[in-house]
Amino acid sequence: MKFTVIGYWGAYPEKESATSCYVLESNGSTVVIDLGSGALSRLFQYYSIEDIDGVVLSHFHHDHIADLGSLQYALLVQQHLNETNKKIPIYASKDNPKDFQRLTHNGTVGKAYQEGHDLTIGSVHFSFLKTKHPKSCYAMRITNGENTIVYTADTSFFPELIDFSKDADLLVAETSFYKGMDGKKAGHMTSEEVGKLANMANVKELWLTHLPHFGDHEQLYNEAKEQFKGTVRLAKEGLSFST
In whole angstroms, the minimum distance from the beta carbon of 235 to Zn ion comes to 13
For 8, residues 6+ apart whose C-beta sits below 8 A from its C-beta are 17, 18, 19, 20, 209, 210, 211, 235, 236, 237
In whole angstroms, the minimum distance from the beta carbon of 135 to Zn ion comes to 6
In whole angstroms, the minimum distance from the beta carbon of 139 to Zn ion comes to 12
Tell me the window of 41-49, 66-74, 122-130, 151-159 that interacts with Zn ion (CB under 5 A): 151-159
The terminus-to-terminus CA distance of the chain in angstroms comes to 5
In whole angstroms, the minimum distance from the beta carbon of 37 to Zn ion comes to 10
Choose between 57 and 142: whose C-beta lies nearer to Zn ion. Answer: 57
Choose between 229 and 236: whose C-beta lies nearer to Zn ion. Answer: 236
Helix, strand, coil percentages in the chain from 3-state DSSP, rounded to 5: 25, 30, 45
Q: Measuring CA to CA, which residue among 167, 124, 220, 157 is closest to residue 207?
A: 220
Q: Does 63 bind Zn ion (CB under 5 A)?
A: yes
Q: Does 154 bind Zn ion (CB under 5 A)?
A: yes
Tell me the window of 56-64, 69-77, 112-120, 191-199 that interacts with Zn ion (CB under 5 A): 56-64
Which one among 25, 33, 61, 217 touches Zn ion, defined by CB under 5 A? 61
Q: Which spans of this chain sit near Zn ion (rule: CB under 5 A)?
A: 61, 63, 154
